[in-house]
């Protein structure tokens, strides 16, 4: 059974930092592309950052230079370091795994940035 469990969300002031973690189980982690998505109220879910099996990373323009995605294949963990947070970063953040036609989601963790 595939499980993705996020942690690390919370309330932070603008300019602050948070580190999200996602623990994966039930998948052959090292071959999966891992991603972080977010969904703000009234908005569509968007891809924030992704890291491929070979370590290649990609970011949405709005977080480039502020967020860093990383993975630890031995621990089956993926992380999102978020710095210089802005109120517009407020959303529920979801961890995802994808390989071929297989895609899985975590339950999400709330990130709230106050101005």
Mean pLDDT, rounded, for 108-113: 98
User: Measured between alpha carbons, how far is 61 from 59 in angstroms, rounded to an integer?
Assistant: 6
Q: What does each C-alpha distance from 60 to 4, 26, 54, 74, 100 come to in angstroms?
A: 22, 28, 19, 27, 22
Residue 60 is predicted with a pLDDT of 98
Average pLDDT of the residues in 33-49: 97
Q: Is-contact 35 50, C-beta < 8 A?
A: yes
Q: What percent of the chain has pLDDT over 90?
A: 97
In this prediction, residue 89 carries a pLDDT of 98
pLDDT value at position 108?
97
Residue range 72-94, pLDDT digits in tens: 999 999 999 999 999 999 999 99
pLDDT band at 30 (very low <50, low <70, confident <90, very high): very high
The reported pLDDT for the residue numbered 97 is 97
| pLDDT at residue 55, rounded to an integer | 96
What pLDDT, on a 0 to 100 scale, did the predictor assign at position 54? 96
């Amino acid at each position: 059974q595939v499980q993705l469990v996020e942690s690390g969300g919370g309330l932070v002031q603008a300019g602050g930092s948070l580190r999200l973690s996602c623990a994966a189980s039930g998948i052959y982690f090292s071959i999966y592309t891992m991603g972080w998505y977010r969904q703000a109220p009234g908005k569509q879910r968007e891809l924030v950052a992704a890291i491929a099996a070979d370590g290649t990373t990609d970011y949405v323009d709005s977080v480039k230079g502020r967020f860093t995605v990383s993975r630890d294949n031995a621990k089956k963990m993926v992380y999102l370091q978020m710095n210089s947070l802005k109120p517009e970063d407020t959303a529920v953040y979801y961890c995802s795994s994808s390989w071929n036609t297989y895609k899985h989601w975590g339950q999400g963790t709330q990130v709230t940035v106050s101005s």
